[in-house]
A and B are shown apart, each in its own frame.
Chain A
Amino acid sequence: MTRLGIFVDRKTLSNSEQLNALIRCRDVAEGMGHDVDFIFPVDINKIPGMDALFIRARTDPMNVTYVAARMASMHGIPVIDDPRSIQICSDKVNMYSHLIKNRISVPVTVFLSKNDLTIENVTNLFNELGSPLIIKEPSTSFSLRVEKVHDITGFFRVARRFIKLSDWIVVQQYIESKYDWRVGVLDGKLLYACKYTIPSDTFKIQASVNGHIVYCGVESVSPDKVPPHVIRLGIAAADAIGSGLYGVDIKNNNGDAYVIEVNDNPSIESGEDDCYPRIFEQIVTHLFTK
Protein backbone atom coordinates (compact mmCIF):
# COMPACT_ATOMS: atom_id res chain seq x y z
CA MET A 1 0.00 0.00 0.00
CA THR A 2 1.41 3.40 -0.99
CA ARG A 3 1.07 6.42 1.25
CA LEU A 4 0.07 9.85 0.00
CA GLY A 5 0.67 12.80 2.30
CA ILE A 6 -1.53 15.85 1.84
CA PHE A 7 0.17 18.82 3.47
CA VAL A 8 -2.28 21.33 4.92
CA ASP A 9 -1.96 24.33 7.18
CA ARG A 10 -5.05 25.12 9.17
CA LYS A 11 -3.90 28.75 9.35
CA THR A 12 -4.40 29.13 5.62
CA LEU A 13 -7.65 27.18 5.33
CA SER A 14 -10.13 29.98 4.88
CA ASN A 15 -13.42 28.38 3.90
CA SER A 16 -15.44 25.19 3.86
CA GLU A 17 -14.95 24.75 0.11
CA GLN A 18 -11.22 24.25 0.68
CA LEU A 19 -11.97 21.68 3.37
CA ASN A 20 -14.43 19.84 1.12
CA ALA A 21 -11.85 19.77 -1.69
CA LEU A 22 -9.27 18.23 0.65
CA ILE A 23 -11.70 15.54 1.69
CA ARG A 24 -12.61 14.89 -1.94
CA CYS A 25 -8.92 14.55 -2.80
CA ARG A 26 -8.42 12.11 0.07
CA ASP A 27 -11.46 10.06 -0.99
CA VAL A 28 -10.24 9.89 -4.59
CA ALA A 29 -6.74 8.77 -3.53
CA GLU A 30 -8.15 6.17 -1.15
CA GLY A 31 -10.47 4.97 -3.90
CA MET A 32 -7.35 4.41 -6.02
CA GLY A 33 -5.91 2.18 -3.31
CA HIS A 34 -3.56 4.60 -1.53
CA ASP A 35 -3.33 5.34 2.17
CA VAL A 36 -3.74 9.03 2.81
CA ASP A 37 -2.41 11.10 5.72
CA PHE A 38 -3.11 14.76 6.25
CA ILE A 39 0.17 16.28 7.31
CA PHE A 40 0.15 19.47 9.37
CA PRO A 41 3.22 21.65 10.00
CA VAL A 42 3.92 19.96 13.34
CA ASP A 43 4.01 16.57 11.56
CA ILE A 44 6.60 17.64 9.01
CA ASN A 45 9.07 14.97 10.10
CA LYS A 46 6.59 12.34 8.84
CA ILE A 47 7.23 13.40 5.25
CA PRO A 48 10.21 11.07 4.68
CA GLY A 49 7.82 8.16 5.43
CA MET A 50 5.47 9.10 2.58
CA ASP A 51 5.58 7.84 -1.00
CA ALA A 52 4.30 11.12 -2.44
CA LEU A 53 3.31 14.53 -1.13
CA PHE A 54 0.60 16.89 -2.35
CA ILE A 55 0.84 20.38 -0.84
CA ARG A 56 -2.46 22.17 -0.38
CA ALA A 57 -1.49 25.28 1.56
CA ARG A 58 -0.32 28.76 0.70
CA THR A 59 3.21 28.45 -0.64
CA ASP A 60 6.16 30.76 -0.10
CA PRO A 61 9.91 30.08 0.12
CA MET A 62 9.91 31.67 3.57
CA ASN A 63 7.17 29.62 5.15
CA VAL A 64 6.53 26.10 6.31
CA THR A 65 5.17 24.85 2.97
CA TYR A 66 8.62 25.32 1.47
CA VAL A 67 10.04 23.25 4.31
CA ALA A 68 7.56 20.51 3.40
CA ALA A 69 8.45 20.67 -0.30
CA ARG A 70 12.19 20.61 0.39
CA MET A 71 11.83 17.79 2.91
CA ALA A 72 10.12 15.73 0.22
CA SER A 73 12.61 16.58 -2.52
CA MET A 74 15.66 16.00 -0.30
CA HIS A 75 14.32 12.54 0.48
CA GLY A 76 13.50 11.75 -3.13
CA ILE A 77 9.73 11.85 -2.66
CA PRO A 78 7.60 13.11 -5.57
CA VAL A 79 5.96 16.35 -4.54
CA ILE A 80 3.47 18.85 -5.91
CA ASP A 81 4.38 21.71 -5.57
CA ASP A 82 8.07 21.05 -6.03
CA PRO A 83 10.43 23.54 -4.36
CA ARG A 84 11.71 24.99 -7.61
CA SER A 85 8.19 25.82 -8.76
CA ILE A 86 7.49 27.45 -5.39
CA GLN A 87 10.68 29.47 -5.63
CA ILE A 88 9.83 30.70 -9.13
CA CYS A 89 6.10 31.25 -8.80
CA SER A 90 6.32 32.94 -5.39
CA ASP A 91 8.50 35.66 -6.80
CA LYS A 92 7.12 37.58 -9.75
CA VAL A 93 10.56 38.84 -10.74
CA ASN A 94 11.71 35.25 -11.07
CA MET A 95 8.47 34.11 -12.69
CA TYR A 96 8.33 36.85 -15.36
CA SER A 97 12.05 36.32 -16.04
CA HIS A 98 11.34 32.67 -16.89
CA LEU A 99 8.34 33.59 -19.03
CA ILE A 100 10.20 36.27 -20.96
CA LYS A 101 13.26 34.08 -21.40
CA ASN A 102 10.97 31.49 -22.98
CA ARG A 103 9.29 34.09 -25.21
CA ILE A 104 5.90 33.81 -23.55
CA SER A 105 3.56 36.70 -24.25
CA VAL A 106 3.25 38.87 -21.13
CA PRO A 107 2.22 42.51 -20.65
CA VAL A 108 5.15 44.89 -21.06
CA THR A 109 7.07 44.38 -17.83
CA VAL A 110 9.82 46.31 -16.05
CA PHE A 111 11.64 45.48 -12.83
CA LEU A 112 12.58 48.43 -10.67
CA SER A 113 15.07 48.35 -7.83
CA LYS A 114 14.83 50.84 -5.01
CA ASN A 115 17.71 52.79 -6.57
CA ASP A 116 15.63 53.17 -9.74
CA LEU A 117 12.77 54.92 -8.01
CA THR A 118 13.36 58.36 -9.45
CA ILE A 119 10.91 60.83 -10.91
CA GLU A 120 12.71 60.62 -14.24
CA ASN A 121 12.40 56.82 -14.41
CA VAL A 122 8.76 56.83 -13.34
CA THR A 123 7.93 59.54 -15.86
CA ASN A 124 9.57 57.43 -18.56
CA LEU A 125 7.51 54.45 -17.48
CA PHE A 126 4.24 56.33 -17.89
CA ASN A 127 5.45 57.66 -21.24
CA GLU A 128 6.45 54.21 -22.52
CA LEU A 129 3.79 51.98 -20.96
CA GLY A 130 0.89 54.42 -20.74
CA SER A 131 -1.52 55.00 -17.90
CA PRO A 132 -2.64 53.37 -15.71
CA LEU A 133 0.24 51.14 -14.63
CA ILE A 134 0.13 48.04 -12.49
CA ILE A 135 2.63 47.74 -9.64
CA LYS A 136 3.24 44.36 -8.01
CA GLU A 137 5.22 43.42 -4.93
CA PRO A 138 6.99 40.25 -6.12
CA SER A 139 5.59 37.80 -3.58
CA THR A 140 2.00 38.87 -3.85
CA SER A 141 -0.70 36.21 -3.93
CA PHE A 142 -4.47 36.44 -4.33
CA SER A 143 -3.94 39.92 -5.82
CA LEU A 144 -2.72 41.29 -2.51
CA ARG A 145 -0.06 43.95 -3.05
CA VAL A 146 -1.13 44.53 -6.65
CA GLU A 147 -2.16 48.13 -7.28
CA LYS A 148 -3.26 50.20 -10.24
CA VAL A 149 -1.77 53.70 -10.35
CA HIS A 150 -2.66 56.60 -12.61
CA ASP A 151 -0.01 59.21 -11.91
CA ILE A 152 3.47 59.77 -10.51
CA THR A 153 2.24 60.66 -7.02
CA GLY A 154 0.20 57.47 -6.84
CA PHE A 155 3.11 55.49 -8.19
CA PHE A 156 5.49 56.63 -5.46
CA ARG A 157 2.86 56.14 -2.76
CA VAL A 158 2.47 52.45 -3.72
CA ALA A 159 6.08 51.77 -4.73
CA ARG A 160 7.49 53.07 -1.44
CA ARG A 161 5.14 50.75 0.43
CA PHE A 162 6.11 47.71 -1.67
CA ILE A 163 9.84 48.44 -1.68
CA LYS A 164 9.85 47.94 2.10
CA LEU A 165 9.00 44.29 1.42
CA SER A 166 11.27 43.69 -1.56
CA ASP A 167 14.35 45.37 -3.03
CA TRP A 168 12.78 45.05 -6.47
CA ILE A 169 9.22 45.61 -7.64
CA VAL A 170 7.40 44.79 -10.86
CA VAL A 171 5.74 47.42 -13.04
CA GLN A 172 3.45 46.37 -15.88
CA GLN A 173 1.32 47.77 -18.63
CA TYR A 174 -2.37 47.60 -17.70
CA ILE A 175 -4.51 45.28 -19.78
CA GLU A 176 -8.23 45.58 -19.33
CA SER A 177 -10.51 42.58 -19.37
CA LYS A 178 -13.81 41.47 -17.92
CA TYR A 179 -12.54 38.02 -17.17
CA ASP A 180 -9.29 36.04 -16.95
CA TRP A 181 -8.84 32.59 -18.33
CA ARG A 182 -7.34 30.17 -15.82
CA VAL A 183 -5.66 27.27 -17.60
CA GLY A 184 -4.74 24.42 -15.28
CA VAL A 185 -1.72 22.48 -16.48
CA LEU A 186 -0.20 19.29 -15.10
CA ASP A 187 3.06 17.98 -16.50
CA GLY A 188 2.69 19.98 -19.68
CA LYS A 189 -0.88 18.88 -20.40
CA LEU A 190 -4.20 20.66 -20.02
CA LEU A 191 -5.84 19.68 -16.74
CA TYR A 192 -8.76 22.12 -16.69
CA ALA A 193 -9.83 25.53 -17.86
CA CYS A 194 -12.16 28.08 -16.38
CA LYS A 195 -13.08 31.74 -16.49
CA TYR A 196 -12.51 34.04 -13.54
CA THR A 197 -14.95 36.91 -13.90
CA ILE A 198 -13.50 40.10 -12.44
CA PRO A 199 -15.86 41.84 -9.98
CA SER A 200 -17.18 45.06 -11.51
CA ASP A 201 -15.77 47.33 -8.79
CA THR A 202 -12.17 46.12 -9.01
CA PHE A 203 -9.57 44.89 -11.48
CA LYS A 204 -8.40 41.96 -9.36
CA ILE A 205 -9.69 38.42 -8.90
CA GLN A 206 -9.97 39.12 -5.17
CA ALA A 207 -10.14 42.55 -3.57
CA SER A 208 -11.33 44.43 -0.56
CA VAL A 209 -14.08 46.81 -1.58
CA ASN A 210 -15.48 49.12 1.11
CA GLY A 211 -14.14 46.78 3.75
CA HIS A 212 -15.67 43.65 2.21
CA ILE A 213 -13.75 40.95 0.40
CA VAL A 214 -15.14 40.39 -3.08
CA TYR A 215 -14.20 37.30 -5.05
CA CYS A 216 -14.24 36.66 -8.74
CA GLY A 217 -16.87 34.42 -10.27
CA VAL A 218 -15.66 30.99 -11.40
CA GLU A 219 -17.04 29.24 -14.47
CA SER A 220 -15.58 25.91 -15.51
CA VAL A 221 -15.30 25.69 -19.31
CA SER A 222 -14.92 22.50 -21.33
CA PRO A 223 -11.81 22.34 -23.56
CA ASP A 224 -13.73 22.64 -26.83
CA LYS A 225 -15.08 26.04 -25.71
CA VAL A 226 -11.68 27.50 -24.82
CA PRO A 227 -9.86 29.37 -27.62
CA PRO A 228 -7.07 27.01 -28.75
CA HIS A 229 -4.44 29.77 -28.61
CA VAL A 230 -5.31 30.35 -24.95
CA ILE A 231 -4.73 26.67 -24.16
CA ARG A 232 -1.47 26.65 -26.13
CA LEU A 233 -0.26 29.77 -24.33
CA GLY A 234 -1.20 28.35 -20.93
CA ILE A 235 0.72 25.13 -21.57
CA ALA A 236 3.74 27.01 -22.93
CA ALA A 237 3.78 29.29 -19.88
CA ALA A 238 3.57 26.34 -17.49
CA ASP A 239 6.37 24.59 -19.37
CA ALA A 240 8.53 27.69 -18.89
CA ILE A 241 8.31 27.11 -15.14
CA GLY A 242 8.47 23.34 -14.79
CA SER A 243 6.59 20.07 -15.08
CA GLY A 244 4.33 20.30 -12.04
CA LEU A 245 0.81 21.61 -11.44
CA TYR A 246 0.12 25.22 -12.38
CA GLY A 247 -2.78 27.59 -12.86
CA VAL A 248 -1.97 30.05 -15.62
CA ASP A 249 -3.92 33.33 -15.68
CA ILE A 250 -4.40 34.72 -19.16
CA LYS A 251 -6.05 37.88 -20.43
CA ASN A 252 -7.41 37.50 -23.94
CA ASN A 253 -7.83 41.05 -25.14
CA ASN A 254 -9.08 41.53 -28.72
CA GLY A 255 -7.48 38.24 -29.71
CA ASP A 256 -4.11 39.08 -28.14
CA ALA A 257 -3.49 36.76 -25.23
CA TYR A 258 -1.13 37.69 -22.38
CA VAL A 259 -0.05 35.61 -19.44
CA ILE A 260 -0.70 37.60 -16.28
CA GLU A 261 0.86 35.06 -13.98
CA VAL A 262 1.60 31.41 -13.39
CA ASN A 263 0.46 30.11 -10.03
CA ASP A 264 1.80 27.09 -8.28
CA ASN A 265 -0.72 25.49 -5.92
CA PRO A 266 -3.72 26.66 -7.94
CA SER A 267 -7.16 26.69 -6.33
CA ILE A 268 -9.25 23.63 -7.15
CA GLU A 269 -12.12 24.14 -4.78
CA SER A 270 -14.36 26.84 -6.19
CA GLY A 271 -15.87 25.05 -9.15
CA GLU A 272 -12.81 25.12 -11.41
CA ASP A 273 -13.24 21.38 -11.93
CA ASP A 274 -16.97 21.22 -12.71
CA CYS A 275 -16.25 20.17 -16.30
CA TYR A 276 -13.20 18.12 -15.26
CA PRO A 277 -14.27 15.55 -12.65
CA ARG A 278 -11.00 13.57 -12.85
CA ILE A 279 -8.61 16.34 -11.73
CA PHE A 280 -7.62 14.77 -8.40
CA GLU A 281 -7.33 11.33 -9.97
CA GLN A 282 -4.95 12.72 -12.59
CA ILE A 283 -2.87 14.51 -9.95
CA VAL A 284 -2.57 11.43 -7.76
CA THR A 285 -1.73 9.25 -10.76
CA HIS A 286 0.95 11.74 -11.81
CA LEU A 287 2.50 11.75 -8.32
CA PHE A 288 2.76 7.98 -8.19
CA THR A 289 4.13 7.54 -11.68
CA LYS A 290 6.85 10.21 -11.49
Chain B
Amino acid sequence: MNTKEIDSPPHKESPEAFPPAPLLTSDAIVKESGIPFDGPYFRKTAVKANGKRDPNMIKDSLFIIRRGDMFHIISENYAFKTETYYSILRYEMEGKPVRPSSSAVLDAYVVPICLERAKLAGIPVCTWGISQGYTPLPAIIYGLNYFATASDFCIVRDNDEAKDAIKHITNIGKYPFCYQTLDNGATVHSCIGIFGKTARQCNAVSLLAEKVYSHFSIPLVTMVFVKTGEQYRLSSLAPVKYSQLLGEERTLLAAYLSHQEFL
Protein backbone atom coordinates (compact mmCIF):
# COMPACT_ATOMS: atom_id res chain seq x y z
CA MET B 1 0.00 0.00 0.00
CA ASN B 2 1.41 3.36 -1.00
CA THR B 3 0.42 6.19 1.30
CA LYS B 4 0.74 9.81 0.42
CA GLU B 5 -0.25 12.61 2.72
CA ILE B 6 -1.02 15.85 0.96
CA ASP B 7 -1.47 19.05 2.90
CA SER B 8 -3.12 22.22 1.81
CA PRO B 9 -0.47 24.95 1.70
CA PRO B 10 -1.78 27.06 4.60
CA HIS B 11 -1.86 24.06 6.93
CA LYS B 12 1.23 22.26 5.96
CA GLU B 13 2.15 19.50 8.34
CA SER B 14 5.57 18.00 8.01
CA PRO B 15 5.65 14.26 7.50
CA GLU B 16 7.67 14.04 10.70
CA ALA B 17 4.41 14.58 12.60
CA PHE B 18 3.62 10.93 11.88
CA PRO B 19 6.94 9.18 11.49
CA PRO B 20 6.91 5.56 10.41
CA ALA B 21 6.32 3.58 13.57
CA PRO B 22 9.19 1.53 14.87
CA LEU B 23 8.34 -1.95 16.04
CA LEU B 24 7.09 -0.85 19.40
CA THR B 25 5.18 -2.74 21.99
CA SER B 26 2.40 -1.18 23.97
CA ASP B 27 4.52 -1.62 27.09
CA ALA B 28 7.41 0.21 25.53
CA ILE B 29 5.10 3.10 24.72
CA VAL B 30 3.79 3.23 28.25
CA LYS B 31 7.32 3.31 29.59
CA GLU B 32 8.56 5.93 27.17
CA SER B 33 5.73 8.40 27.18
CA GLY B 34 3.60 7.56 30.16
CA ILE B 35 0.61 7.84 27.85
CA PRO B 36 -0.24 4.51 26.32
CA PHE B 37 -1.77 5.80 23.12
CA ASP B 38 0.09 9.01 22.63
CA GLY B 39 2.69 7.43 20.45
CA PRO B 40 3.12 5.78 17.13
CA TYR B 41 1.17 2.79 18.30
CA PHE B 42 -0.54 2.21 15.02
CA ARG B 43 1.96 1.08 12.49
CA LYS B 44 1.82 3.09 9.35
CA THR B 45 3.34 2.93 5.93
CA ALA B 46 5.87 5.69 5.35
CA VAL B 47 4.23 8.94 4.36
CA LYS B 48 5.37 11.29 1.67
CA ALA B 49 4.22 14.84 1.20
CA ASN B 50 3.35 15.14 -2.44
CA GLY B 51 3.38 18.47 -4.18
CA LYS B 52 2.97 17.12 -7.67
CA ARG B 53 -0.08 18.07 -9.68
CA ASP B 54 -0.61 14.56 -10.98
CA PRO B 55 -0.34 12.15 -8.09
CA ASN B 56 0.16 8.57 -9.10
CA MET B 57 -3.13 6.81 -8.80
CA ILE B 58 -1.72 3.33 -8.81
CA LYS B 59 -3.35 0.25 -7.35
CA ASP B 60 -3.65 0.27 -3.55
CA SER B 61 -2.48 3.90 -3.24
CA LEU B 62 -3.93 5.77 -0.31
CA PHE B 63 -3.98 9.56 -0.26
CA ILE B 64 -4.57 11.74 2.77
CA ILE B 65 -5.55 15.35 2.10
CA ARG B 66 -5.68 17.88 4.89
CA ARG B 67 -8.01 20.85 4.54
CA GLY B 68 -8.16 23.00 7.62
CA ASP B 69 -8.44 20.62 10.54
CA MET B 70 -10.07 17.87 8.51
CA PHE B 71 -8.22 14.91 7.06
CA HIS B 72 -9.75 13.29 3.96
CA ILE B 73 -8.69 9.76 3.13
CA ILE B 74 -8.91 8.69 -0.50
CA SER B 75 -8.61 5.03 -1.35
CA GLU B 76 -9.91 2.39 -3.72
CA ASN B 77 -11.37 0.34 -0.90
CA TYR B 78 -12.52 1.31 2.58
CA ALA B 79 -13.62 -2.17 3.63
CA PHE B 80 -13.38 -3.50 7.18
CA LYS B 81 -9.86 -4.54 8.24
CA THR B 82 -8.12 -3.07 5.21
CA GLU B 83 -5.09 -0.80 5.47
CA THR B 84 -7.40 2.12 4.64
CA TYR B 85 -9.87 1.21 7.37
CA TYR B 86 -7.05 1.04 9.90
CA SER B 87 -5.69 4.38 8.69
CA ILE B 88 -9.08 5.95 9.41
CA LEU B 89 -9.20 4.25 12.78
CA ARG B 90 -5.76 5.55 13.64
CA TYR B 91 -6.87 9.14 13.03
CA GLU B 92 -10.01 8.57 15.10
CA MET B 93 -8.04 7.07 17.97
CA GLU B 94 -5.73 10.06 17.92
CA GLY B 95 -8.76 12.35 18.11
CA LYS B 96 -8.17 13.89 14.69
CA PRO B 97 -11.18 14.77 12.55
CA VAL B 98 -11.22 12.43 9.57
CA ARG B 99 -13.52 11.71 6.67
CA PRO B 100 -14.95 9.25 6.03
CA SER B 101 -15.45 7.89 9.53
CA SER B 102 -14.93 4.21 10.24
CA SER B 103 -18.62 3.81 11.09
CA ALA B 104 -19.66 5.52 7.84
CA VAL B 105 -17.65 3.12 5.71
CA LEU B 106 -19.06 0.13 7.55
CA ASP B 107 -22.55 1.52 6.98
CA ALA B 108 -21.88 2.27 3.32
CA TYR B 109 -20.66 -1.17 2.35
CA VAL B 110 -23.38 -3.22 4.08
CA VAL B 111 -26.24 -2.80 1.65
CA PRO B 112 -29.32 -2.79 3.97
CA ILE B 113 -27.65 -0.37 6.38
CA CYS B 114 -26.55 1.86 3.53
CA LEU B 115 -30.10 2.03 2.21
CA GLU B 116 -31.75 2.59 5.57
CA ARG B 117 -29.32 5.35 6.44
CA ALA B 118 -29.71 6.96 3.01
CA LYS B 119 -33.50 6.76 3.29
CA LEU B 120 -33.48 8.50 6.65
CA ALA B 121 -31.36 11.22 5.02
CA GLY B 122 -33.99 11.75 2.33
CA ILE B 123 -32.23 9.91 -0.50
CA PRO B 124 -34.62 7.77 -2.57
CA VAL B 125 -33.65 4.12 -2.17
CA CYS B 126 -34.77 0.74 -3.46
CA THR B 127 -37.17 -1.26 -1.34
CA TRP B 128 -35.19 -4.06 0.26
CA GLY B 129 -35.65 -7.18 2.29
CA ILE B 130 -33.51 -9.93 3.76
CA SER B 131 -34.04 -13.53 2.91
CA GLN B 132 -32.47 -16.93 3.44
CA GLY B 133 -33.55 -18.44 0.13
CA TYR B 134 -36.49 -16.76 -1.58
CA THR B 135 -36.63 -13.57 -3.59
CA PRO B 136 -39.50 -11.92 -5.41
CA LEU B 137 -38.75 -11.51 -9.12
CA PRO B 138 -37.29 -9.62 -10.88
CA ALA B 139 -34.77 -8.45 -8.31
CA ILE B 140 -31.26 -7.30 -7.69
CA ILE B 141 -29.55 -9.32 -4.96
CA TYR B 142 -26.49 -8.77 -2.77
CA GLY B 143 -24.56 -11.05 -0.43
CA LEU B 144 -24.74 -10.25 3.25
CA ASN B 145 -21.77 -11.82 4.92
CA TYR B 146 -18.15 -11.49 5.84
CA PHE B 147 -16.93 -12.14 2.31
CA ALA B 148 -19.57 -10.19 0.38
CA THR B 149 -18.93 -6.93 -1.40
CA ALA B 150 -21.50 -4.59 -2.87
CA SER B 151 -19.53 -4.72 -6.12
CA ASP B 152 -20.83 -8.26 -6.60
CA PHE B 153 -24.54 -8.08 -7.25
CA CYS B 154 -26.77 -10.21 -9.42
CA ILE B 155 -29.85 -9.21 -11.38
CA VAL B 156 -32.28 -12.13 -11.45
CA ARG B 157 -35.36 -12.31 -13.62
CA ASP B 158 -36.51 -15.93 -13.35
CA ASN B 159 -36.37 -18.78 -10.88
CA ASP B 160 -33.45 -20.58 -12.52
CA GLU B 161 -31.31 -17.44 -12.51
CA ALA B 162 -32.35 -16.72 -8.93
CA LYS B 163 -31.54 -20.24 -7.74
CA ASP B 164 -28.01 -20.14 -9.17
CA ALA B 165 -27.31 -16.60 -7.99
CA ILE B 166 -28.61 -17.22 -4.46
CA LYS B 167 -26.55 -20.39 -4.20
CA HIS B 168 -23.49 -18.36 -5.14
CA ILE B 169 -23.96 -15.30 -2.93
CA THR B 170 -25.12 -17.22 0.14
CA ASN B 171 -22.31 -19.79 -0.04
CA ILE B 172 -24.87 -22.54 -0.59
CA GLY B 173 -27.39 -21.25 1.90
CA LYS B 174 -24.95 -20.52 4.69
CA TYR B 175 -25.71 -16.78 4.88
CA PRO B 176 -28.73 -14.56 4.28
CA PHE B 177 -28.86 -12.12 1.38
CA CYS B 178 -30.44 -8.76 0.58
CA TYR B 179 -32.91 -8.45 -2.27
CA GLN B 180 -34.38 -5.37 -3.91
CA THR B 181 -37.36 -5.82 -6.16
CA LEU B 182 -37.24 -4.32 -9.64
CA ASP B 183 -40.29 -2.79 -11.23
CA ASN B 184 -41.14 -3.64 -14.82
CA GLY B 185 -38.96 -1.64 -17.16
CA ALA B 186 -36.46 -0.77 -14.43
CA THR B 187 -32.81 -0.51 -15.44
CA VAL B 188 -29.66 -0.64 -13.33
CA HIS B 189 -27.00 2.06 -13.67
CA SER B 190 -23.77 2.82 -11.91
CA CYS B 191 -21.63 5.91 -11.73
CA ILE B 192 -18.62 7.06 -9.80
CA GLY B 193 -18.78 9.86 -7.25
CA ILE B 194 -15.64 11.90 -6.57
CA PHE B 195 -16.11 14.09 -3.52
CA GLY B 196 -19.80 14.17 -4.46
CA LYS B 197 -19.20 15.19 -8.05
CA THR B 198 -19.73 13.12 -11.16
CA ALA B 199 -18.50 13.36 -14.71
CA ARG B 200 -21.09 13.67 -17.46
CA GLN B 201 -24.15 12.69 -15.46
CA CYS B 202 -27.66 14.07 -15.64
CA ASN B 203 -28.86 16.53 -12.99
CA ALA B 204 -30.81 13.90 -11.07
CA VAL B 205 -27.78 11.65 -10.62
CA SER B 206 -25.48 14.60 -9.86
CA LEU B 207 -27.82 15.74 -7.09
CA LEU B 208 -27.97 12.26 -5.62
CA ALA B 209 -24.16 11.98 -5.73
CA GLU B 210 -23.90 15.23 -3.75
CA LYS B 211 -26.38 13.96 -1.18
CA VAL B 212 -24.58 10.63 -0.88
CA TYR B 213 -21.29 12.43 -0.31
CA SER B 214 -22.73 14.87 2.19
CA HIS B 215 -24.07 11.95 4.18
CA PHE B 216 -21.35 9.28 3.93
CA SER B 217 -18.32 11.51 3.09
CA ILE B 218 -16.65 8.82 1.02
CA PRO B 219 -14.48 10.63 -1.52
CA LEU B 220 -14.39 7.85 -4.08
CA VAL B 221 -17.41 5.61 -4.44
CA THR B 222 -19.39 3.67 -7.01
CA MET B 223 -23.10 4.39 -6.75
CA VAL B 224 -25.50 1.82 -8.13
CA PHE B 225 -28.94 3.19 -9.01
CA VAL B 226 -32.15 1.61 -10.23
CA LYS B 227 -33.98 3.81 -12.72
CA THR B 228 -37.72 3.49 -13.10
CA GLY B 229 -39.23 6.01 -15.49
CA GLU B 230 -37.36 9.20 -14.66
CA GLN B 231 -36.69 8.32 -11.04
CA TYR B 232 -33.36 7.06 -9.75
CA ARG B 233 -33.20 5.14 -6.50
CA LEU B 234 -30.01 4.16 -4.72
CA SER B 235 -29.30 0.43 -4.70
CA SER B 236 -25.81 0.28 -3.15
CA LEU B 237 -22.43 1.91 -2.66
CA ALA B 238 -19.27 0.05 -3.62
CA PRO B 239 -15.52 0.53 -3.91
CA VAL B 240 -13.84 2.03 -7.00
CA LYS B 241 -10.56 0.93 -8.54
CA TYR B 242 -8.41 3.76 -9.87
CA SER B 243 -8.17 1.77 -13.09
CA GLN B 244 -11.95 2.11 -13.50
CA LEU B 245 -11.76 5.90 -13.66
CA LEU B 246 -12.39 7.43 -17.06
CA GLY B 247 -10.38 10.38 -18.31
CA GLU B 248 -12.63 13.11 -16.88
CA GLU B 249 -13.02 11.29 -13.58
CA ARG B 250 -9.28 10.86 -13.28
CA THR B 251 -8.78 14.54 -14.00
CA LEU B 252 -11.38 15.49 -11.40
CA LEU B 253 -9.79 13.31 -8.71
CA ALA B 254 -6.32 14.61 -9.62
CA ALA B 255 -7.65 18.15 -9.24
CA TYR B 256 -8.78 17.39 -5.68
CA LEU B 257 -5.50 15.72 -4.84
CA SER B 258 -3.53 18.70 -6.14
CA HIS B 259 -5.82 21.26 -4.47
CA GLN B 260 -7.14 22.74 -7.70
CA GLU B 261 -10.61 21.71 -6.52
CA PHE B 262 -11.57 22.88 -3.07
CA LEU B 263 -13.53 20.90 -0.55
Point out residues on A near B: beta carbons under 8 Å. Answer: 11, 41-42, 44-45, 60-64, 66-67, 70-71, 74, 83-84, 87, 91, 93-94, 96-98, 100-103, 106, 108-116, 121, 124-125, 128-129, 138-139, 165-168
Contacts and interface: CB of A to CB of B under 8 A. Distances in A.
B81 A63 contact: no
A113 B45 CA distance: 9
A66 B43 CA distance: 28
B81 A166 contact: yes
B130 A42 contact: yes
Contacts of B26: 96, 100, 106, 108-110
B163 interface: no
Given A87-B106, A97-B41, A111-B43, A64 B86 contact: no
A129 B82 contact: no
Interface of B: 1, 23-30, 36-37, 41-43, 45, 80-83, 85-86, 89, 93, 102-103, 106-107, 110, 112-113, 116-117, 120, 129-132, 144-146, 148, 174-176
A93 B45 CA distance: 16
B81 A165 contact: yes
A110 B81 contact: no
Contacts of A124: 23
Given A66-B106, A108-B26, A129-B25, A138 B112 contact: no
A60 B110 CA distance: 11
B130 A70 contact: no
A63 B176 CA distance: 9
Contacts of A116: 23, 43
Contacts of A167: 1, 81-83, 85-86
Contacts of B83: 113-114, 167-168
Given A67-B144, A111-B41, A168-B83, 19 more contacts: A41-B176, A60-B146, A62-B80, A62-B110, A63-B175, A64-B130, A66-B106, A67-B112, A91-B80, A97-B42, A100-B26, A103-B30, A109-B25, A110-B24, A116-B23, A121-B23, A138-B81, A166-B81, A167-B81
A97 B36 CA distance: 9
Contacts of B24: 110
A97 B89 contact: yes
A60 B113 CA distance: 14
A62 B43 contact: no
B89 A103 contact: no
A138 B110 CA distance: 19
Contacts of B113: 66-67, 70-71
